[in-house]
């Protein structure tokens, strides 16, 4: 039963089997880090695998492609195999490569084939802007008008997108559907299995942006029949700023020639034949375009080792418990300060972060940072707080709310401008 005192949080930490992993990370001195849904912290293992790869470059030169602790030539495939369990896929269905938006361009270039009545892409109005920019671009490349051929499902309340509304929008003119697994502001987790089944009933391909879920929530993409997915690795998977991305392609599409072909998508045994006839790799590896970003990919090796040890079910269980605890503390301690919990309350609909809405959100975020809590602001009025299973403790959550309460009690936020910084 919930209690609001620190000893309750301390007891939760004593019972937490993941608590030893906190020592694996470099924590910010004097700060409580609650922004792992934007950029995960550096782990000692990630630092070590990056150091190993740099050492290979230093001592082996070009021979690092095939030798050393982590040969570079197969790094994308190795990381894809290590990532497969996170998304419920077969190893050959996942590849680690490029960036989120580049991978989205690749997948839409492959699977968006407007013909006859089916010419439109279905998305939603709350998605992260980069996805929408990419979809608009791909529509223009087909000689079509995004204003007419990109359909965005409306939100009923500015926070959530209802699955019923998405399904209703799956009309006969839709050629492709691209949706987030978790909405980046509100943290709403969509029913991926249901939406995939409904799309396929209508003969529509469907893909998902997993940036705000992979590493926080177990998925079963292959079991559910998802056609494709893509994600970043620098949030919950702690690969480092601008870290390399990941993509999934269901094995039923392995006969598809990638829409954007490049030499790193070649069959590994043929790649250095230097022929002008593209021979695609077997599996998702064919969807690579350019050479793996080796120094960007290297930290992910160490990070994924921990996910393999722990497993996504335990990570999700702790995440749900911490976000519920955070919401209970907010309701108990901050009930008089006009905060609205803007994320779903139900476990099956909630992602990995808590979304607090307040008209002074930008100012409050600045005050939190100055008082040692690192939050995340999203316009117009959202404070995102993400307790991360591998390095956030229950005491961290308790102390963060106590600091927020002191800020509100003393109106310390009033000395700041209610305007976001360049980086929110």
Q: What is the pLDDT of residues 251-308, one digit of tens each?
A: 999 999 999 999 999 999 999 999 999 999 999 999 999 999 999 999 999 999 999 9
Residues facing residue 124 across a β-bridge: 153
Two structure tokens written together for 154? 């409306």
The set of long-range contacts for 18-27, using a CB threshold of 8 Å and a minimum separation of 24, is 18/310, 18/314, 18/315, 18/318, 18/389, 18/390, 19/393, 21/306, 21/310, 21/390, 21/391, 22/390, 22/391, 22/392, 22/393, 24/306, 24/390, 24/391, 25/238, 25/390, 25/391, 27/391
Q: Which pLDDT score is estimated for 145?
A: 98
CATH 3.60.20.30 fits 6-30+311-415, yes or no: no
pLDDT tens readout for residues 51-69: 999 999 999 999 999 999 9
Pairing mode, strands 245-249 and 94-96: antiparallel
Tens of pLDDT, residues 227-238: 999 999 999 999
Residue 421: pLDDT band by 50, 70, 90 thresholds?
confident
Residue 34: Cβ-neighbour burial (10 angstroms; 0-12, 13-18, 19+): buried
Please report the pLDDT score of residue 221 as a whole number.
99
DSSP for 285-338 reads GGG--S---HHHHHHHHHHHHHHHHH-HHHHHHHHHHHHHHHHHHHHHHSTTTT
The pLDDT score that the predictor gives to residue 334 is 97
Q: What would the two tokens of residue 122 be?
A: 């279905």
Instruction: Report the pLDDT value the prediction gives residue 347, as an integer from 0 to 100.
Output: 98
The mean pLDDT of 368-377, rounded to a whole number, is: 98
Active site residue 349: no
Q: Which residues are annotated as a binding site for pyridoxal 5'-phosphate?
A: 100-101, 128-131, 209, 212, 234, 263, 291
235, 350, 366, 378: the active-site residue: 235
Q: How far apart, in whole angstroms, are the C-alpha atoms of residue 171 and residue 176?
A: 11
Known catalytic membership, residue 370: no
**Closest C-alpha to 246, from 40, 80, 112, 93:** 80
Whether pTM exceeds 0.95: yes
pLDDT band with cut points at 50, 70 and 90 for residue 418: confident
Encode pLDDT of 28-44 as tens digits.
999 999 999 999 999 99
Give, in degrees to the nearest 5, the angle at Cα 140 between 139 and 141. Answer: 90
Q: Where, residue-wise, is CATH 3.40.640.10 in the chain?
A: 49-309
Q: Which pLDDT band, with edges at 50, 70 and 90, does 1 fall under?
A: confident
Provide mean pLDDT across the span 151-173: 98
Catalytic residue among 45, 124, 384, 391: 384
State yes or no: is 209 an active-site residue. Answer: yes
Which member of 35, 209, 227, 376 is catalytic?
209
Round to whole Å and give the CA distance between 210 and 152: 18
Which of 128, 278, 337, 416 is catalytic? The answer is 128
Catalytic, 273? Answer: no
CATH of domain 49-309: 3.40.640.10
Query: CA–CA separation, 336 vs 334, rounded Å?
Result: 5
Cβ atoms of 96 and 244 within 8 Å: the answer is: yes
Minimal CA–CA distance to 407: which of 371, 358, 374, 379?
Answer: 371
Candidates 234, 287, 377, 391; catalytic one? 234
* Percent of all residues in the chain with a pLDDT value above 70, rounded to a whole number: 100
Render pLDDT for 120-132 as a digit per residue (tens, 0 to 9): 999 999 999 999 9
How would residue 422 be classed by pLDDT, with cut points 50, 70 and 90? confident
In the residue annotation, 128 being an active-site residue is answered as yes
Could you tell me which of 249, 278, 244 has the C-alpha nearest to residue 264?
Answer: 278
Q: Quote the pLDDT of residue 419.
A: 84
Neighbouring C-beta atoms of residue 133, cutoff 10 Å: 14
CATH 3.90.1150.10, the chain: domain bounds: 6-30+311-415
């Amino acid at each position: 039963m919930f209690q609001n005192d620190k000893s309750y949080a301390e007891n939760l930490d004593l019972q937490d089997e993941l608590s030893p992993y906190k020592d694996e990370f470099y924590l910010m001195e004097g700060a409580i880090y609650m922004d792992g849904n934007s950029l995960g912290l550096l782990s000692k293992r990630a630092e070590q695998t990056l150091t190993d790869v740099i050492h290979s470059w230093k001592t082996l030169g070009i021979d690092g492609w095939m030798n050393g602790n982590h040969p570079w030539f197969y790094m994308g495939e190795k990381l894809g195999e290590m990532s497969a369990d996170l998304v419920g896929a077969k190893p050959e269905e996942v590849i680690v490569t490029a960036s989120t938006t580049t991978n989205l361009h690749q997948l839409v270039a492959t699977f968006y084939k407007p013909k006859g009545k089916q010419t439109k892409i279905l998305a939603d109005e709350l998605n992260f802007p980069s996805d929408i920019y990419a979809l608009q671009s791909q529509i223009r490349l087909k000689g079509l008008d995004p204003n007419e051929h990109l359909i965005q499902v409306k939100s009923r309340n500015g926070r959530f997108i209802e699955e019923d509304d998405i399904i209703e929008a799956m009309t006969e003119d839709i050629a492709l559907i691209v949706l987030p697994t978790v909405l980046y502001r509100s943290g709403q987790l969509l029913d991926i299995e249901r939406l995939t089944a409904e799309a396929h009933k209508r003969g529509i391909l469907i893909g998902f942006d997993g940036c705000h879920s992979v590493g926080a929530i177990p998925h079963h993409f292959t079991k559910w029949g998802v056609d494709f997915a893509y994600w970043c690795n620098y949030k919950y998977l702690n690969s480092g700023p601008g870290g390399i991305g990941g993509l999934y392609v269901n094995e039923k599409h392995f006969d598809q020639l990638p829409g954007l072909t490049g030499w790193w998508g070649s069959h590994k045994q043929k790649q250095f034949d230097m022929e002008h006839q593209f021979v695609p790799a077997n599996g998702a590896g064919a969807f690579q375009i350019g050479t793996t970003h080796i120094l960007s990919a290297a930290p992910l090796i160490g990070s994924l080792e921990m996910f393999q040890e722990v497993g996504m079910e335990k990570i999700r269980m702790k995440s749900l418990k911490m976000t519920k605890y955070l919401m209970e503390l907010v309701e108990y301690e901050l009930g008089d300060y006009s905060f609205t919990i803007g994320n779903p309350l139900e476990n099956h609909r909630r992602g990995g972060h808590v979304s607090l809405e307040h008209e002074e959100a930008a100012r409050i975020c600045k005050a939190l940072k100055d008082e040692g809590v690192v939050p995340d602001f999203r316009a117009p009025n959202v404070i995102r707080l993400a307790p991360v299973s591998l390095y956030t403790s229950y005491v961290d959550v308790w102390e963060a709310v106590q600091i927020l309460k002191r800020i509100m009690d003393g109106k310390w936020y009033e000395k700041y401008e209610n305007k976001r910084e360049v980086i929110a």
